[in-house]
Chain A
């Protein structure tokens, strides 16, 4: 069927600069560039371009650029180009539209409407260059009280397992299969070097990554891929994946063509079969059932590891989180509407869930009101772009954050949203042998530790400015936030006051 879809981008080649080295042709995962020997010239299939900029960055003479197709549609507020093009694509295929990365729609980003405080005169600020600043964070259930019985002074009677991270930033769950082994190794190595955690996602832990298991959070999702005793024993934290911000309420399908021999071995399924993660866990239809799985995992790991439960931020997150804590979870991870994915139905990614900022505030407030905030750590995910977002998340009530997109961007991702094709030119969201070599774990892990270091330094500067020398003094301390451009209801839910008040 002839497609009625116009190209979204145009590749511009400056023929005077082009030296016919054909780097662009080799680098493009989408076959945009073609060399014609007879003409000694390079041509482009613009309609295949996803604007990932791989060719632009690697062109040695700077001959390439990618621009938006300037094609004009008749102005129409309702039938915008995206709506027309999505519809045509479905008319041509009859399928569900897929996309990658996080929600790109202009929903409010509350990070940008929250401002941090700083000390002036009355409460001196602290210079983190000369004074110790504490970013170390302990995740896990904290005791309800300190037992002061004789001989036991200051020691907790029954301390639940704790894990320490040196900075409140962990790498989000990204499964092997959605990303290459090299990418997961880069995340694992950076987490190990910096003293934080990476998360296996639901695709299992490849045998070559067991050496990083001291810094691994392993997931147990509805498909139970690669879940076995050794996997549970290796991890520091076991996370039950209920939902994901990019696709709340639905499962996942890793198509058979991405299930290579190594992916199959890690997921413990036959090569080439679809890996279907059903939407629900078939043993969890209630909070009581969730509790049963939490304690099954505690039994399976002999109560030595915190059990985390990850949910997508949805309308009733506060009540759900309360249930999760009462079910026995040691960590509650919440993924907001801007959380990313390797593949999700576009209609779900763009329309389901709520912003993480509101969810953190609502959950933290609810757990405090019920007197159970100490019983679980709160990890926020979905749309954290910089260190200010991290510190605002903590001031709203999170203990730590997960970063996924930010980590991939650090390794080269240009957020072209074509992860679901498996043809990532940056070698990230692919398991293709040729493409995946583009991520060198030595270099990519350095880029990631650089990111963690840069953000951690900035967090210390901001903390010092507020006159705080330990991150835990900021947790849920919403007096250090003020809102701008927010309605009374938004301010109330966020639990912050208007700037100037």
Chain B
């Protein structure tokens, strides 16, 4: 059954949605969207390094994403505003990555595949990596759920309850690096942030609790991955961007619906 490329692509999309959506809720609640962007953009440098040293893409991307996240965390609060710092880091990492890729002679790389994903070429190994990573992230977020939520509400509130907010921040950072590495194949580094935050933002108006929002975001992201895949097959459009287009349309509909409900 996994021999059919459409089946593999669907499973890859659903797996990515499963990992990205719950984590995306925290990215939205903690206003970390730009942080996600920086981590994701840095991953292209990881791709270049992986190819240069013939490592699996997943490993290189994850290492660079982690280094990036650690660098941002360390540099925070040393003179520059967070968004300036992230802007510098994100785009420098992307630029260095693109330049590094150009040095790789002998390897013909389809750069577009890493920038925007190439879900239709997902192999059995890729699928194993995607689902392994997705389950790891879901397990991590589920395990720390209450602590993460408390730290997100207020750091002092967390400390008074015996939770170390910096530890929870580190866990989120780790999970983010895994999601980036997992999602490269599916949507590419430029669109990963969209898979994180758009389903979460779409789910927001219809949720009364954080858990409901996360569950709803996962469902939306999975449906979007499936619809996006079918649409791109039908109309021969690039798959990663098509999936993101579908979540974007969902977001628009959700926003209009919630506005109408409030007015009406």
* A and B from one complex: no
